[in-house]
Amino acid sequence: MSWSTRFIALSLAVSLAGCAAIQPGRSAGRQIDDFNAATSIKSAMLRADGYRLGGVDVEVTEGVALLTGNAPRAEDRIYAECLTWSAQSVREVSNRIEVGAGRGAAQATRDALITQRVRARLMADSEVRSVNFNVETHDGTVHLLGFARNDGERERVALHASLADGVEEVVDLIRVWGETPDTPARGALQAAACEGGIQPSVAPPFTSPEAVDDAPLQPIDPQPVEAQIEDDLRPVNADWSRRR
C-alpha cells in the first residue's frame, strides 16, 4: 500500500470516528447520574419512617424517574413521588404505583417474558439503537424510557412494544434528541407533588422530605467484576492449596 493510500485510509478512519463521536446518544455521565439518582431515591424510601415504600420499584433513565410496584396506602404513593423529586437530576416523574397488594409470582414471570420479547424486537431492528432504551413491564404495561435520535426511532420503538405478545398497554417516556418539553419548572413540579400530602397513620406530621442528595450512595466500583471475584476467592484458594 502506497503512502498516499495509507494517508487517505487514515483520514477516512479519523473522519468516521469523529462522526461517531458527535452522534447523539446516552452519555456515560448521564448514565452515572441516573444510577446514583435511582440508588439514592430507593435508599431514602427505605429510610422513610412511618411510610411503607418497600414494594416500590425505582428506575431512572435520562432524568425520567419511573415509579412502579405497589404501596399499601394512598399516602405512601404520594410520599414516594415527593421523595423522588428531591433528587436533583430528576426532571420528570411518572408515578405508576398501585395502591393495594403486589403482583403475584405468575404475573411477575409474565412481565419478565414481555420485557424480553420487547427487547428482542428492538435488538433485531437495525433502525433502532437498542442500547439507548430501557424497557420495564409491570402488570402487562410496558414502560419505555431512554433516548431516541429522532421522532421516527421513537415511534418504531413504541410500535415494537405494542406488537409484542402479552402487552396490554405501552407508556412512552422516551426523550428525543433536541426535544425541549414545555413543562413547569422543576421546583414547581416538586411542590405540586409534595403539597397536600396525607399524613401517615403512625408518623410525625408530614413535612418536606430530607434531600435525597444526603442519602448514602452506592458508589460505582470501576474495578472489573472478574477482578473483584478473584480478590474474593484468593483467601479460599490459598487455604485450599495448603490443605492439598
Q: CB-side exposure of 80: number of CA atoms within 13 Å? A: 32
CA-nearest of 51, 84, 39, 40 to 65 is 84
Phi then psi for 198, rounded to 5 degrees?
-75, 135
Q: Is 161 a member of any domain?
A: yes
Q: Give strand pairing partners of 146.
A: 133, 174
Q: Is 229 a member of any domain?
A: no
Measured over the CA atoms of residue 118, residue 120, residue 121 and residue 125, the dihedral's sign is: positive
- The pLDDT, as a whole number, for residue 181 is 61
**By the 8 A CB rule, do 65 and 94 touch?**
yes
Q: Is 20 a member of any domain?
A: no
- The pLDDT, as a whole number, for residue 14 is 41
Q: Which domain holds residue 39?
A: 28-181+189-200+209-214
Q: Is 62 a member of any domain?
A: yes
If one counts the domains in the chain, the total is 1
Cell, residue 232: 474474593
- Residue given cell 409470582 in the structure block: 105
Give per-10-residue mean pLDDT for the chain (244 aa): 50 42 61 92 91 93 92 92 90 91 86 96 94 94 93 93 94 84 68 62 38 38 43 52 52
Q: Is 80 a member of any domain?
A: yes
**By the 8 A CB rule, do 121 and 142 touch?**
no
